Amino acid sequence: MELVNLAQLLPRQADRLGDRPALRFKRFGLYHDITWRRYLEKSEAIAAALIDAGVKLGDRVGLIGENSADWLMADVAILMAGGVTVSPHAPLTARQIHYQLHDADVVWAFASNRTQLDKLRSVRAELPALRGIVVFDAAVSGVDAIPLSAFEQRGRLALSSVRGELDRRRANLTCDELATVMYTSGTTGNPKGVMLTHGNLLSNAVASLEVQPHRPDDLVLTWLPHTHIYARLVDHYCTLVSGITLALADSAETLVENLGEVHPTHLAAVPRFYEKLLSAVKTADPAETGRRLRRAFGPRLMWMSSGGAPLPNPIAEVYHAAGLNLMQGYGLTETSPVISFNTHGAHELGTVGRPVPGVEVKIADDGEIMTRGPHVMKGYWKNPEATAETIRDGWLYTGDLGKLDADGYLSITGRKKEMMVLSNGKKLVPANLEGLVVSDDCIDQVMICGEGRNFLTALIVPQWANVRAALADESLSPSDDDLTTHPAVLALLVSRCKAALSEVSHTEQIRKFVVLPRPFSVENDEMTVSLKLRRQVILEKYRVALADLYRSDG
Percent of the residues in the chain that have a pLDDT greater than 90, as a whole number: 83
- Mean pLDDT estimate for the chain: 94
Query: What domains appear along the chain, each with residue ranges and CATH number?
Result: 13-173 (3.40.50.12780), 202-416 (3.40.50.12780), 419-551 (3.30.300.30)
Contact yes or no for 346/329 (Cβ under 8 A): no
Q: What is the mean pLDDT of residues 251-264?
A: 95
Whether residue 258 is predicted with pLDDT greater than 70 in this model: the reply is yes
Question: How far is Cα 537 from Cα 525, in angstroms, rounded to an integer?
Answer: 7
- Tens-digit pLDDT profile for residues 275-315: 889 989 999 999 999 999 999 999 999 999 999 888 888 89
Q: How far is CA 109 from CA 89, 124, 130, 295, in A?
A: 14, 11, 7, 41
Q: Contact, 74 vs 39, CB < 8 A?
A: no
Q: Is the Cβ–Cβ distance between 179 and 84 less than 8 Å?
A: yes
Report residue 238's pLDDT band, with 50, 70 and 90 as the boundaries: very high
- To the nearest 10 degrees (0 to 180), the angle between helices 114-123 and 94-103 is 60
* Model pLDDT, residue 189: 61
Phi first, then psi, for residue 162 (nearest 5°) are -110, 5
Q: What is the pLDDT of residue 242?
A: 98
Tell me the average pLDDT across 176-190.
81
Predicted pLDDT at 319: 97
DSSP 195: E
pLDDT at 552: 65
Separation between Cα atoms, residue 306 and residue 301, nearest integer Å: 14
Query: Can you give the pLDDT at residue 186?
Result: 53
- pLDDT tens column, 343-400: 988 999 999 999 999 999 999 999 999 999 999 999 999 999 999 999 999 999 999 9
Mean pLDDT within 107-115: 98
pLDDT digits (tens, 9 = 90+) for 485-541: 999 999 999 999 999 999 888 889 999 999 999 999 988 889 887 778 889 899 999
Indicate whether 554 pLDDT > 60.
no
Question: H helices then E strands: how many in the chain?
Answer: 19, 27
**Which positions ≥6 away from 235 have C-beta within 8 Å?**
220, 222, 224, 226, 246, 268
Q: Report the length, in residues, of the chain.
A: 554
**What is the mean predicted confidence (pLDDT) over 449-477?**
92
Give the confidence band of 405 by pLDDT, cuts at 50, 70, 90: very high
Handedness of CA 190, 94, 540, 480 (dihedral sign): negative
Quick: pLDDT tens for 5-28.
999 999 999 999 999 999 999 999
Distance CA 71, CA 112 (A): 8
Burial of 264 by CB count in 10 Å (0-12 exposed, 13-18 middle, 19+ buried)? buried
Residue 272, pLDDT score: 85
pLDDT in tens, 51-109: 999 999 999 999 999 999 999 999 999 999 999 999 999 988 999 999 999 999 999 99
Q: What is the pLDDT of residue 114?
A: 97
pLDDT at residue 187 is higher than 60? no
Of 9, 8, 89, 105, the closest CA to residue 56 belongs to 105
pLDDT digits (tens, 9 = 90+) for 123-135: 999 999 999 999 9
